[in-house]
Homo-oligomer: A and B are copies of this chain.
């Protein structure tokens, strides 16, 4: 990787590296676990919907021609509830009480709502005429067996699960979730909640990457923090990580200093470790371990988070059928110093629909600044500096 590798070139390389790992695979899940998953194929209905001809109202199933002149008093021969069972056919000249959703008996061709009747007992007076078909839901009037219930590549919302259930389907084939392993590295790291001595910092990257992966619709099956500056210790973590993951993300250990543990382990295995024209997030690496792709970010927490957003998040969202992060132009509310020769992702806060102000400086340690942002401001490589009123592209966080 040459020093001047661009963001777009590195993004294309990450996409290429991950193309097989992120290519969809099918998985069958129960409906209760299928919310927000993405259909693998279109789903055809195994049944007619409704399953049988049924009543739209509480009232009386009738032969329409019996009530062409009203009022008319007719004998009530029974009651059909909404429950299992096949009712007897209705004889002309009689009516049967019927509940919403209950089977309309053969012979009957309309339902008279209860509010259009009076004097119910052994007979009932029908006060309003109804035509054949009124208040009757015909079998298959919503959808016929063999018709498409749901298209392929659909992210399943509650209403989609409802129609699957209504058709008697209890599980659905969906795209498998991408399984990501997260390994943070750095001898200076301690877990949040523990005590940090001199020279130690709390590991923000583990939780940030885990949450970010989940936000993109992928799952995190393995998280490790590697506090040894020992490639062999990292190797042990990588063996465990790659046993089940489609993709490993690491943070730290890939720059030009000493104790670059990710570089030391992966470079001899063929990883490309280098620097790209980007700030923050210059050092970047891609490689493989046990045949599983590894994408490595620098360890500064802002660099890690922005690297994930730029290089991996778009691919994971795509794989999970999630919408891409919104990119739109806004107007700068102040000047923005840029770094010549680097594409800068400055942290911004949108002020209204149109404007954006810069939050904090460019430093890759400014985690509070990033937390206070809601967009990244994409400052192109060739830009020397931006002024208040300039138009910039922003990426929603």
Q: Is the CB of A192 within 8 A of B142?
A: no
Selected from B54, B85, B204, B300, the residue in CB contact (under 8 A) with A163 is: B204
Most B CB within 10 A of own CB, among A99, A141, A162, A197: A162
Contact mask for chain A residues 298-340; partner B; CB cutoff 8 A; 1 contact, 0 none: 0111000100000000000000000000000000000000000
Q: Is the CB of A161 within 8 A of B199?
A: no
Which residues of the partner chain B approach A150 to less than 8 Å between Cβ atoms?
371
Interface members, chain A 87-113 (any B CB < 8 Å): 87, 97, 99-103
Counting CB contacts under 8 A, is A229 at the interface? yes
Q: Is the CB of B360 within 8 A of A165?
A: no
Counting CB contacts under 8 A, is A157 at the interface? yes
Q: Is the CB of A164 within 8 A of B187?
A: no
* Chain B residue at minimum C-beta to C-beta distance from A86: B198
Additional pairs, 16, CB under 8 Å, beyond known A51-B202, A85-B197, A114-B257: A35-B215, A51-B196, A56-B363, A58-B256, A84-B188, A102-B188, A137-B363, A142-B360, A142-B368, A147-B368, A158-B215, A159-B208, A162-B204, A165-B207, A165-B208, A167-B192
**A75-83, A263-271, A380-388: which lies at the interface:** A75-83
Q: How far is the CA of A172 from the CA of B240 in the complex (A)?
A: 30
Counting CB contacts under 8 A, is A255 at the interface? yes
Q: Give chain A's interface residues, CB within 8 Å of chain B.
A: 31-32, 35, 45, 49-52, 54, 56, 58, 79, 81-87, 97, 99-103, 114, 137, 141-143, 147, 149-150, 157-171, 186-188, 191-194, 196-212, 214-215, 229, 255-259, 299-301, 305, 360, 363-371, 373, 397
Using known A-B contacts A32-B210, A83-B199, determine if residue A257 contacts B142 with beta carbons closer than 8 Å: no
Which residues of the partner chain B approach A35 to less than 8 Å between Cβ atoms?
211, 214-215
Q: Is the CB of B215 within 8 A of A157?
A: yes
Minimum CB–CB distance from A188 to chain B (whole Å) comes to: 4
Most B CB within 10 A of own CB, among A103, A365, A373: A365
Q: How far is the CA of A204 from the CA of B45 in the complex (A)?
A: 14
Q: Is the CB of A205 within 8 A of B162?
A: yes
